[in-house]
């Protein structure tokens, strides 16, 4: 009886899992969610028009765990739309996002709920994320500086943009109240939807609390982030997401440190897409110029930065292209 009473007092955590053609991996992700040591969870599964056997697998799990799983089946509309549908259907006080091929350490949600207890509902919990392919015991760690506490979400953003670091969606645990402030996932974007969404979440958050015990496991498939943006429309959408960064963050703080970080964001875009799509590169350069930051900044690895200092950013890009 004591366990039942304790469970009823625990705030509900909604784990939102959008699924599109992930039949090879989704069972493992569902098992990871169901294996959480935190007792009061619901899984909100949104099948986004899968054409493989994903829906049958989701229906199987829903029939096994009807008290824990809500299943929504819809026509394909993209990950942002599916995630928004999941958020609206969720009942939890906290939201955990999980891609249909990624995994969580069993104590992840419990640790982060405990960390957030007693804090403002606008605090945000994070944890380390690691890369793996098939076996999570063979994960690869990343030496990232974002794996620490930050006094404000703005501080977290500026560090990540300056260092070109990122956070996997599944690393965060957010209150529903904070998500409501940030707004929906942007359904107009086809790439970096999560980066743009969590940019807004972080700008609304009062602080970021790092959980040193938990892990989110990010499955690396054959397609890299750079290869995903090899189409013109994807690159255009990526640049659009960065413009949205600028519009949002300058409304919170318009300062030199913010504009320097934005300059690095646009430089990284040019670095990633060069020499393709000259018109998008020109747009990125124009956006950089309008920031009115004359101070030189350097991006990418130590060798490229050294070369940029010696011959300039654009000449270093040209030389890099020749040597590839």
Q: Structural domain boundaries of the chain?
A: 2-219, 225-323
Tell me what pLDDT residue 321 has: 82
Write out the chain's pLDDT in tens, 324 residues. 344 444 457 999 999 999 999 999 999 999 999 999 999 999 999 999 999 999 999 999 999 999 999 999 999 999 999 999 999 999 999 999 999 999 999 999 999 999 999 899 999 999 999 999 989 999 999 999 999 999 999 999 999 999 999 999 999 999 999 999 999 999 999 999 999 999 999 999 999 999 999 999 999 976 544 444 469 999 999 999 999 999 999 999 999 999 999 999 999 999 999 999 999 999 999 999 999 999 999 999 999 999 999 999 999 999 988 876
CATH of segment(s) 2-219: 3.90.550.10
Backbone angles phi, psi at 310, to 5 degrees: -85, -45
Tell me what pLDDT residue 46 has: 98
Query: What is the rounded distance in angstroms from the CA atom of residue 102 to the CA atom of residue 176?
Result: 22
What burial letters (b/e) apply to 266-300, b meaning 16+ CB within 10 Å? bbbbbbbbbeebeebbebbeebbeebebeeeeebb
Query: What is the rounded distance in angstroms from the CA atom of residue 163 to the CA atom of residue 145?
Result: 8
Residue 146, token pair as written in the block: 């974002």
Tell which residue, 112, 134, 307, has the closest CA to residue 208.
112
């Amino acid at each position: 009886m004591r366990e039942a009473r304790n469970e009823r007092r625990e705030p509900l955590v909604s784990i939102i899992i959008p699924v599109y053609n992930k039949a090879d991996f989704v069972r493992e992700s569902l098992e990871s969610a169901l294996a959480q040591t935190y007792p009061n969870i619901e899984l909100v599964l949104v099948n986004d028009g899968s054409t493989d056997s994903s829906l049958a697998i989701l229906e199987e799990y829903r029939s096994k765990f009807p008290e824990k799983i809500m299943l929504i089946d819809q026509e394909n509309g993209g990950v942002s739309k599916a995630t928004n549908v999941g958020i609206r259907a969720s009942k939890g006080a906290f939201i955990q996002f999980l891609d249909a091929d990624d995994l969580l350490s069993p104590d992840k949600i419990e640790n982060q709920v405990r960390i957030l207890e007693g804090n403002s509902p606008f605090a945000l919990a994070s944890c380390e994320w690691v890369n793996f392919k098939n076996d999570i015991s063979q994960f690869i760690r990343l030496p990232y500086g974002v794996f620490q506490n930050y006094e404000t979400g703005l501080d977290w953003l500026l560090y990540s943009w300056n260092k070109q670091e990122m956070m996997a969606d599944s690393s965060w645990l957010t209150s529903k109240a904070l998500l409501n402030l940030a707004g929906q996932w942007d359904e107009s974007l086809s790439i970096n939807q999560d980066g743009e969404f969590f940019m807004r979440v972080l700008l609304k958050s009062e602080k970021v609390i790092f959980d040193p015990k938990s892990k989110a496991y990010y499955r690396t498939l054959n397609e890299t982030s750079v290869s995903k943006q090899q189409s013109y429309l994807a690159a255009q959408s990526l640049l659009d997401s960065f413009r949205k960064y600028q519009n949002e963050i300058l409304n919170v703080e318009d300062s030199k440190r913010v504009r320097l970080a934005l300059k690095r964001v646009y430089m990284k875009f040019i670095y990633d897409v060069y020499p393709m799509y000259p018109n998008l590169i020109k747009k990125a350069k124009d956006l950089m110029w309008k920031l009115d930051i004359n101070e030189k900044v350097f991006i990418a690895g130590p060798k490229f930065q050294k070369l940029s200092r010696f011959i300039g950013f654009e000449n270093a890009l040209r030389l890099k292209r020749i040597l590839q």
